[in-house]
Amino acid sequence: MKVLVISDSHGAVFESHINEIKTHGDYDILIHCGDKYNDAQKFADKLNINTVYQVPGNCDYNVIEKGIIFKEIMGRNVLITHGHIHNVKYNLDALKKFAEENNADVVLFGHTHDQLTEYMDKTLFFNPGSTIFPRKGNGSYGILEFTDNDIKCSVMTLEN
């Protein structure tokens, strides 16, 4: 199961980004971790991805959807959030506690505009960074490949 993870696109769905993302093949699921909520469907339409999971971020003012969702992907409990609710710009303590309380196997989040791939205990915490306003370097996105026994994580850097 191949999952495209995007966060903090802030309304910028550029054709050059779409073309770069396409170079890594087809995706089964698109997950957008907030800021800008409506970008998720734009990316999905351009990439022909039918399954989309998304949450609003702190800049998604007119969205009434829940800021935290759980989805099961290949038997893993995946927590999807933007991260501002748990103050992830300061540390991951509150998010880690919430993940533990809800038996999350994988935590996908954004908000910081910084890439992160880290296991805490047995839980994977993954932030793909921002496609358009990275804290350092170029924009980025993530690819997660779920198998029965493993999850392969990649953060991909955008050239444009």
Domain locations in the chain?
Answer: 2-157
Q: List pLDDT tens digits, range 23-46.
A: 999 999 999 999 999 999 999 999
Going by the DSSP 8-state scheme, the letter that residue 154 receives in this structure is E
Q: Which residue carries 């903090």 as its tokens?
A: 8
Q: Which pLDDT value is given to residue 62?
A: 84
Kind plus residue range of the DSSP H or E element containing 106: strand 106-108
CB atoms within 10 A of CB 150: 8
Q: List pLDDT tens digits, range 61-95.
A: 888 888 999 999 999 999 999 999 999 999 999 99
Q: Which residue carries 């935590």 as its tokens?
A: 107
Q: List pLDDT tens digits, range 142-153.
A: 999 999 999 999
Topology, domain 2-157: Purple Acid Phosphatase; chain A, domain 2 (3.60.21)
Q: Which residue carries 């290949």 as its tokens?
A: 74
Q: Which pLDDT value is given to residue 159?
A: 86
Distance CA 72, CA 22 (A): 25
Which residues make beta-bridge pairs with 5? 31, 142
Going by C-alpha positions, the residue among 4, 8, 17 that lies closest to residue 114 is 8
The answer to whether the beta carbons of residues 111 and 90 sit under 8 Å apart is no
